[in-house]
């Protein structure tokens, strides 16, 4: 019997789980909608530190923004069981390793988050960090990266009419942005609290953009 080998056969695609396939399909079906009709998900992560390689997500908080309105009925919050615990960071985020807050596994949190965000545009302050943290969870579960468009409120703020005449390249923290835009910082350093503060900042920045900036808004979206 002669055996034949096809050296040029394409590598079989990774057998992705159903929940990720559904997420992928939602992205593929995304339509270009006017800004007022676009579903924005403003999200934030609380983490054990600032290394996306060695630190872990403690909680994810998010809220939807549609038609210049924060929809608190369309919000998201999960706390993740801690495999890595850093006691020195507890005074910042207030999340104990055990405590009374109900926590779920990292994979369960990921599944819920993907279902929640669907094909929305993701918004965050210094969002690259939060996206990287979620991407590391995906990587640990042998899944591709997030596919949503994203926008950073820090970057958007610098592009807004409010500071068009400033020469400095200041790296605005969320506290800086809250002070600049007169936003209350209550519930700061919780994922849900920071997501809500960022959502308010996002709407205030959008209101400051002139017509030309608004027309170019989609050019500011990142993959």
Structure confidence by residue, pLDDT tens digits, 193-205: 999 999 999 999 9
**Residue 62, domain member (yes or no):** yes
pLDDT value of residue 164 = 47
Q: End-to-end CA distance of the chain: give it in Å, rounded.
A: 51
pLDDT value of residue 17 = 97
**Residue 76, domain member (yes or no):** yes
- pLDDT tier for residue 2 given thresholds of 50, 70 and 90: very low
- pLDDT tier for residue 208 given thresholds of 50, 70 and 90: confident
The full DSSP string for 55-66 is --EEEEEEEEEE
User: Taking all residues of the chain, what is their mean pLDDT, rounded to a whole number?
Assistant: 82
The full DSSP string for 6-75 is -TTPPPPPP---HHHHHHHHHHHT-----GGG--EEEEEEEESSS-TTT--EEEEEEEEEETTEEEEEEE
59: Cα separation from own chain's centroid: 12
**Residue 23, domain member (yes or no):** no
Structural domain total, the chain: 1
pLDDT value of residue 146 = 97
pLDDT value of residue 49 = 83
For the domain that residue 67 is a member of, what is the CATH number? 3.30.420.10
Structure confidence by residue, pLDDT tens digits, 70-109: 999 999 999 998 876 555 554 444 444 555 678 899 999 9
**Residue 22, domain member (yes or no):** no
Where in the sequence is the domain holding 59, given as residue range(s)? 37-220
The label of the residue with tokens 């050019």 reads: 219
**Residue 59, domain member (yes or no):** yes
Taking the model in full, what pTM does it have? 0.83
Contacts 24+ apart (CB under 8 A), 135-143: 135/52, 136/52, 136/53, 137/57, 137/106, 137/107, 137/109, 137/110, 138/110, 140/106, 141/107, 141/110, 142/14, 143/16, 143/17, 143/20
pLDDT value of residue 10 = 42
- pLDDT tier for residue 5 given thresholds of 50, 70 and 90: very low
Beta bridge partners of 122: 41, 150
99: left (phi over 0), alpha (psi -120 to 50) or beta: left
CB 64 within 8 A of CB 116: no
pLDDT score of 162 more than 60: no
**Residue 25, domain member (yes or no):** no
Structure confidence by residue, pLDDT tens digits, 27-47: 998 888 888 889 999 999 999
Average pLDDT over residues 138-156: 95
């Amino acid at each position: 019997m002669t055996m034949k080998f096809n050296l040029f056969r394409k590598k079989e695609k990774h057998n992705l789980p159903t929940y990720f396939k559904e997420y992928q399909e939602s992205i593929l079906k995304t339509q270009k909608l006017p800004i007022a009709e676009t579903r924005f998900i403003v999200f934030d992560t609380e983490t054990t530190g600032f290394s996306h390689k060695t630190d872990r997500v403690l909680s994810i908080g998010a809220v939807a923004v549609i038609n210049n309105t924060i929809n608190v009925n369309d919000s998201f919050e999960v706390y993740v069981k801690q495999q890595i615990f850093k006691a020195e960071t507890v005074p910042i985020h207030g999340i104990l390793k055990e405590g009374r807050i109900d926590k779920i596994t990292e994979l369960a949190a990921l599944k819920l988050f993907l279902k929640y965000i669907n094909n929305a545009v993701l918004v965050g302050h210094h969002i690259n960090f939060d996206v990287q943290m979620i991407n590391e969870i995906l990587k640990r579960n042998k899944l591709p990266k997030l596919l949503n468009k994203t926008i950073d409120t820090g970057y958007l703020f610098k592009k807004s009419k409010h500071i068009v005449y400033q020469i400095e390249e200041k790296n605005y923290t969320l506290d800086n942005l809250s002070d600049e835009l007169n936003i209350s910082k209550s519930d700061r350093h919780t994922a849900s609290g920071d997501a809500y503060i960022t959502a308010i900042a996002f709407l205030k920045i959008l209101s400051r953009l002139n017509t030309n900036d608004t027309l170019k808004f989609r050019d500011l979206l990142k993959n």
